[in-house]
Amino acid sequence: MPRSDVNGQPRFRRPRATITVVTNRDEDLIAELHEARGFRRIEIAAELGDSQGDTGPDQLRRLLRESGPGTSDLRCTAILALAKRCRDEAHDDYAVAFHSKDAGTRDYAMLALSAYGRDGLWDEVAERLVKTLRNRKRRGSAPPSEVVVQIVYLVRHAANEPGRLARLAASLRQHWAGLEPASGGHDNEQWIKDYWPEASPDGPSVNTLEPPDVSAMKRYVTTDPLFEPL
């Protein structure tokens, strides 16, 4: 489920099984989870994103704390499910996952932060964006790309401090060549031209830039099929 590999497979995708949900209840899924093994646990985590009840979010948080071999996909699925259930209320959970040692967990935490995260990680995400643009293997190949989700988070909170918008635009221009995906796939450069054309290298001074349509950028992420019901 998580990040793309070096062969350019899609960075963000659903679990590999097809799941059909018929209005599950949290308690039923959690009871099954205690006995489940292997990929069925990932399926149940995904189903908790659409189920009904009061205990699902806490169970998803427990899954996020699991560690060890074979748990990356489980955590990634739990992050998506938690984002669907709790949106901005789970910001602290995304922030913890954003600092995970596991790359897949970090990627999905960034996706959730892009869609629903609050301010507080702006400088760290800005630094991560530059590192992503410098690393051809980590640009993502399918929408929403890793570059795009980072930009959306930064734009959403740029107005909270003077100079943030100019700093973001300057970083994009400085590393414009890095917008090209490693092996085809999502056109990050065209995405910026569609959603924030003034940020391109031939735009006006970064200190005079008008903010882009933040709502449109957020809709781009939140309407992705990853956040739709199963």
End-to-end C-alpha distance for the chain, whole angstroms = 15
Non-local (6+) Cβ contacts of 131 within 8 A are: 138
Q: pLDDT value at position 184?
A: 59
Maximum Cα interatomic distance, the chain, rounded to a whole number of Å: 59
pLDDT (0 to 100) of residue 109? 98
- What residues contact residue 69 under an 8 Å CB cut-off, 6+ apart? none
- Name the residue ranges covered by the structural domains of the chain: 26-227
Q: What pLDDT is attached to residue 16?
A: 46
What would the CATH number be for the domain defined by 26-227?
1.25.10
Quick one: pLDDT at residue 6? 33
What residues contact 10, with CB distance under 8 A and at least 6 apart? 4, 141, 142
What is the model's pLDDT at position 12?
62
The predicted pLDDT at position 3 comes to 43
Structure tokens at 158: 């740029």
In the prediction, which pLDDT does 143 show? 73
- Tell me which residues of the chain have a pLDDT lower than 70: 1-23, 136-142, 181-185
H or E stretch covering 13: none
Query: Are 1 and 15 contacting, i.e. CB atoms less than 8 angstroms apart?
Result: yes
